[in-house]
Amino acid sequence: MKIATWNINGVKARIETTLTWLREANPDVVCLQEIKSIDSNFPAEPFQDLGYQVTTHGQKGFNGVAILSKSSVEDVMIGLPGDDDDVQARYLEATVSTANGAVRVVSLYLPNGNPIGSEKFSYKLSWMMRLEARMKALLAEEMPVAVAGDYNVIPTSEDAKRPQAWTNDALFQPESRTAFRRLINLGYYDAVRATAPGPDQYTFWDYQAGAWQKNDGIRIDHILLSPQAADRLDSAGIDRETRGWEKPSDHVPVWVELTI
């Protein structure tokens, strides 16, 4: 089973790019972020024509996540538990079932958190605490779990071409990185790092200052696997070539292949 995640930065602006990549990469499950569309306006039909069942948790003009699956989708959870007042569309969870087994899949869009010291940064950290609680609960179910999405966290200095440029950014603060490490310490595996240690593994290049041309990237899109999923990990990768396509997202797809 090939599971991918991609922050497409607007489904209406990026639908042709997304469809082209889907035809080429042919993932079984795709977690999308920043769809920037309410559920009723999401253009599901072109994805259904490619064989995908479409599940969305949308929001007008901002945020929004989706799960596309070629297999049956069950037990959908909309929204991250822990705060009934949180109306931002950032979390979607479902079980994807095949004849050979099932995987619990999460599509998440973690808050950016900038500027530091603001309510946005506090919201980011509290959201990560809620995520930690949910990921701990998922481990207790002892099934394969893939928590995929735009985490808006640069885990280490090796995950940025110029780490010094991010020292005052919420994505690279000690609090953000510590919260990410707590997720790993629960027992999850960073799929890309499990298969490709070392530098130059980026998933985001800003639109400004020629970042793509300079390879001035960062790694903020991650797929974390429970031990049961990691045991089935065959390969993982980053499809960075999509950043050079016409009208690209500033993020690129990240994927894993599991024996399911």
Is 114 within any annotated ligand binding site? no
Out of 159, 189, 190, 251, pick the active-site residue.
251
- Determine the residue type at 56: T
Beta bridge partners of 97: 72, 102
Decide if 5 contacts 30 (C-beta within 8 A).
yes
- 150 catalytic residue (yes or no): yes
- 109 catalytic residue (yes or no): yes
Closest CA relative to residue 149, chosen from 8, 23, 248, 257 = 8
What is the dihedral angle through the alpha carbons of 211, 216, 221, 223, rounded to the nearest 10 degrees?
140
Is 257 within any annotated ligand binding site? no
Is 190 within any annotated ligand binding site? no
Is 251 within any annotated ligand binding site? yes
Out of 150, 169, 190, 221, pick the active-site residue.
150
Is 222 within any annotated ligand binding site? no
SS3 state of residue 46: helix
Is 185 within any annotated ligand binding site? no
Q: How far apart are CA 40 and CA 221, in angstroms?
A: 27
Out of 91, 109, 188, 189, pick the active-site residue.
109
- 251 catalytic residue (yes or no): yes
Binding site listing for Mg(2+): 7, 34, 150, 152, 250-251
Enumerate the active-site residues. Answer: 109, 150, 251
Binding site listing: 7, 34, 150, 152, 250-251
